[in-house]
Amino acid sequence: MDYFVRDSIFLLVLGVVLDFSVGAMPVSFSEEFEVTSREDHVRIMADNYSVQLTLDRNGDARFASKHEYMFGLVSAKIKLVAGDSAGTVTTFYLSSDRDIVRDEVDFEFLGNRSGQPYTVQTNVYAHGKGDREQRVNLWFDPSLDFHTYSIFWNHNRIIFSVDKMPIRVFKNNRVKLGVPFPNNQGMRIYSTLWNGDQWATRGGLEKIDWSKAPFHAYYKDFTIESCRVPINASCPSNPSNWWEGTIYRQLSPFQEKLYRWVRVNYMIYDYCTDRFRFPVPPPECTAGV
């Protein structure tokens, strides 16, 4: 049996229900976001809950939230560039947008030649320190339909999820190991579709085929369950926020199984095991989830 079919059946049988959300309704795009690239490269749909991003030789596409947030859950349903997407990079991330002490939590979707799997790169910057890349190949074609990509963030850990399945956990080891953790400044939500063919696909060997342009990515159903700062200044430290609850301080045994399944079968790069870059593994790499 083909591994893709086998693993798809595995997920269906399990009936995966991994929900960090308490059921927030999608937010209006124009109310929460603003276009930060050329207006003609971000098309806001009539429903005001979905957008189309366009990349061509004339430029890329970008938008950002109007407000900064701390802790909680942000998510979006995204349909990625179809066909030959090599060299394109589609993103969904949080960033404090401060060059020196920048905090950032990234989803970067790296396109590929037709028929090859899409790669998701995640990274965490904390207090200006990054270099924590991990890469996972998606187990489905993310250009055929919308899938949900979520960033969960509390005082204990950051969890990246795809369709509510955890693909990465970054634990707060600031006190225990002295590893920086994003915990003292708000971050905006950003999304982009841009030309990353200097590095994105096979280390930059595969370039964008501009004859296939324009390239499109689609976003819809943004949810934000978080503390808006600085308006709600006391909110980030409130222990009564649902995301600070006991059940969200660690993965459940079932969630850990799903997490291991993704990483055993689909992880293709982990900075923790890159001895060329890190002859001595960074301290968080031995701390577990």
Cα–Cα distance measured from residue 22 to residue 44, given in angstroms and rounded to the nearest whole number: 27
Q: How far is CA 49 from CA 13, 94, 194, in A?
A: 32, 19, 22
Cα–Cα distance measured from residue 154 to residue 172, given in angstroms and rounded to the nearest whole number: 9
Please list, in sequence order, all residues whose beta carbon lies within 8 angstroms of the beta carbon of residue 106, skipping any fewer than 6 positions away: 91, 93, 94, 121, 122, 123, 124, 125
Q: Determine contact, residues 87/197, Cβ cutoff 8 Å.
A: yes
Is-catalytic flag, 104? yes
Whose structure tokens read 């964008």? 208
Catalytic residue from among 108, 206, 225, 284: 108
Catalytic residue from among 31, 32, 34, 104: 104
* Helix, strand, coil percentages for the chain (3-state, nearest 5): 20, 35, 45
Active site residues: 104, 108
